[in-house]
Amino acid sequence: MSTFVYKVRDVRGILSRGELEADSRAAVATSLSGQGLTVVEVSEKQKGGTSLSDVLSDLRPVKARHITIFSRQFATMISSGLALLRALHILESQTQNPKLKTIIGSVRKEVEGGAALSDSLEKHPQVFNRLYISMVRAGEAGGILDETLNRVAAQLESDDNLKRSIKSAMVYPLLIASFALLILTAMVLFIIPTFAKMYDQLGGKLPLLTRMMVWVSNTMTSIVGLFVLAGLGGGVYGLIRLKKTPQGTAAWDRMKLHLPMGIGEIVRKLAMARFSRTLGTLISSGVPILQAIEITGETAGNVVVSEAMAGVKEGIKQGRPMSEPLSSQSIFPPMVTQMIAVGEETGAIDTMLGKIADFYEDEVSAAVKALTSILEPIMMIGVGAIVGVIVISLYLPIFNLMNIVH
């Protein structure tokens, strides 16, 4: 049997497409006609190997900004009165990302075949997560798809801007650390051995600090150094693999909340910002509260928050207001639970969650800037101290050069 692609029209004249396995085109046409459909076209699906361009396009990631642009444009077209299929056709033709272009084409074909937009998007979880799908489904049910798409685009923009601000703030400290590592490696591997040969020719007893530096250099350039580097690489690889396990992920997420120098507090504030923004967006889009809490837990990005949301869900099932089970979870500060309690009393919980998210996003930005302003001088002093020790260890014998020669 072969797979055939067909186009048909129903009794209302609506065109749809699909695939069907059969022995021949005639068998496909007979089967479709028996369902009361008018056959427009039947062709055999081409079977070919995967091209290099297809492989490369699959490897290219679909970034958050690509989905944000897609959502904004989609919302604008829908609010302008453009038909859903026409909007998808336009988006498919003008999307630059190859992988997203292919996915939009697949979604368009599913919708042409009569599937709901949310169901079509749900078949691509690597690009559209459960948060996105749930909001689109709520928008379809409420007839406010354009408004929902704008909300999800705003959610994605907020998350992306927060990540970019953190990354940009950490660029300079990481550059300093990388440059320092290169300098130290070059000094230990190339400069110290040169001085060591000169000291061997002069003879005499070297100072303790110089002997220590020479020993470090000899160790790193010997087979022992290779074993040490291999051991370090294996340890890092093992930790990465362990972190990908459920137990490792849970342990890492808990440890992040207790990191020193204010890093743990930044992680906590970031989790609060994401929790508030996600839950507020889902509630304002009309997603049922229990489903919204479940989705928030799944997309929280931290196991501690996910476990807390499971407890909150159980509390709501028992008829308690959301603020009560939230207050029993240590991850949530009192301010968050109190503001949510006020939102429940006033019937504006989504608005209150939005204000909480705005507050914590500003707090995260300020905390990251403060952390980098502290890290930069500490790293500069640390690099200077290490380089200074190496330089002093190299020049100490030179200060006593005459004694060595005599």
Answer whether residue 19 is part of any domain: yes
Looking up residue 361, the CATH number of its domain turns out to be: 1.20.81.30
Both structure tokens of 37? 């459909």
Domain around 79: 54-128
Which pLDDT band holds residue 67 (cuts at 50, 70, 90)? confident
**pLDDT at residue 353 tops 70:** yes
Answer whether residue 134 is part of any domain: no
Same domain for 166 and 95: no
C-alpha torsion sign, points 224, 226, 229, 233: negative
- Measured between alpha carbons, how far is 84 from 222 in angstroms, rounded to an integer? 67
Per the prediction, the chain carries an average pLDDT of 80
Radius of gyration for the chain, computed over Cα atoms and rounded to the nearest angstrom = 31
Using a pLDDT cut of 90, give the percent of the chain over it.
Answer: 0
Answer whether residue 108 is part of any domain: yes
**pLDDT at residue 288 tops 60:** yes
Answer whether residue 146 is part of any domain: no
Most confident of 11-15, 52-56, 258-262: 258-262
- Measured between alpha carbons, how far is 398 from 390 in angstroms, rounded to an integer? 14
Among 287, 308, 323, 348, CA closest to 135: 287
Q: Which of 88, 106, 128 is the last residue of a domain?
A: 128
pLDDT, tens only, 363-388: 888 888 888 888 778 878 887 888 88
Both structure tokens of 300? 């929280």
Other Cβ atoms less than 10 A from the Cβ of 173: the count is 17
Q: Count of domains in the chain?
A: 3
Answer whether residue 285 is part of any domain: yes
Model pTM score: 0.64
- Measured between alpha carbons, how far is 71 from 150 in angstroms, rounded to an integer? 7
Same domain for 80 and 184: no
Average pLDDT over residues 101-130: 85
Amino acid letter, residue 16: S
Average pLDDT over residues 3-31: 73
pLDDT of res. 56: 47
Beta strands 2-9; 38-44: pairing state: antiparallel
Same domain for 97 and 17: no
Same domain for 59 and 39: no
- Measured between alpha carbons, how far is 322 from 278 in angstroms, rounded to an integer? 15
pLDDT of res. 55: 46
pLDDT, tens only, 104-113: 888 888 888 8
**pLDDT at residue 328 tops 80:** yes
Same domain for 73 and 210: no
